[in-house]
Amino acid sequence: MSRIRDTFLELERSGECAFIAYIMAGDPDPSLTPPIVQAIAQYADIIELGIPFSDPIADGKTIQAASERALKAGMTPDKIFELIAAIRKETDIPIVVMSYYNPILHFGIERFMKRLSEGGGDGIIIPDLPIEEADDVVRYAKENGIDTIFLIAPTTPEERIEQICAYSSGFVYLVSLLGVTGARETISGVVRTLIKSVVEKRPDIPPAVGFGVSKPKHVREIVKSGAKGVIVGSAIVELIAEHKDKPEVMISALEEFCAALKAATRDR
């Protein structure tokens, strides 16, 4: 059984929703990623680490800027495995990597999954990889004990939702709105429909909702909609960017914000 699945089962027993926190690996500097993760891991249940990429088509301005900062700081796919290994020495929190397909293909799919597993990673999200081209990724990930997490959008047809659920392990990533990542004021009403569709087709896999989730009130809305996980990215990345030159202030701000988000996952 995977570390991700164990986490969801434990949260289910305690009546909680998983708080999944996204950061860009290497932003604003690779040396700061482990302490940032340690600070967030006090409150988050799963960490999602982004690999910076020059053409992040699914991401809004906030994460695009974070990707640029990380690349300028010298972050590479190779270095993410070193960071994961360093993080793993300090915490057992599940770690999911988010990467576009091109860096993985360039690195070598089998080699990437092997290195991810050896470093202590638990899952992979590839937002631009369609399931029709995912066989090799799923096969090598499974061989190395890595969960494959696929995305479902508000426009995804019912038949395709069933296919995506079949290819997914760990959890399914539900996109709460059309467009790119980024903090929003409100959460789309389509969330409840997506959750219901996933639960009907694959009751054994937790649905987690992301894109636009930036406030505790958003988290509470999503929890009440029946989600098993809530993913927050851009709002956390914005805090990192705001305090990038003052690491101590950054860590304190992240701890305060993530504590509030986690508390909201317990509101039923």
Residue 161 backbone zone (phi > 0: left; psi -120 to 50: alpha; other: beta): alpha
Question: Residue 125: beta bridge partners?
Answer: 98, 149
The helix/strand count (H/E) of the chain reads as: 12, 9
Total domain count, the chain: 1
User: pTM score, two decimals?
Assistant: 0.93
The larger pLDDT score, comparing residue 33 to residue 15, is at 33
Domain that holds residue 67: 3-264
Q: What is the mean pLDDT of the chain?
A: 91
Is-catalytic flag, 48?
yes
* pLDDT tens digits for range 138-186: 999 999 999 999 999 988 999 999 999 999 999 999 997 644 444 444 4
- In sequence order, which ranges of the chain are alpha helices (DSSP H)? 3-14, 33-41, 61-72, 77-88, 101-107, 109-119, 135-143, 158-167, 190-201, 216-224, 234-242, 247-264
Q: Are 122 and 149 in contact (CB under 8 A)?
A: no
User: Helix, strand, or coil here: 217?
Assistant: helix
How many CB atoms lie under 10 A from the CB of residue 233?
28
pLDDT value for 112: 97
CA distance 58 to 2: 27
Return the CATH number at 51.
3.20.20.70
Catalytic residue among 48, 122, 147, 238: 48
Catalytic residue among 16, 59, 122, 147: 59
Burial of residue 204 (CB within 10 Å: 0-12, 13-18, 19+) is exposed
Is-catalytic flag, 82?
no
Output the CA torsion sign for 256, 257, 262, 266.
positive
Q: Are 240 and 37 in contact (CB under 8 A)?
A: no
* pLDDT tens digits for range 40-90: 999 999 999 999 988 766 667 889 999 999 999 999 888 999 999 999 999
CA distance 268 to 15: 9
For the chain, state the CA radius of gyration: 17
* pLDDT tens digits for range 236-256: 999 999 999 999 999 999 999
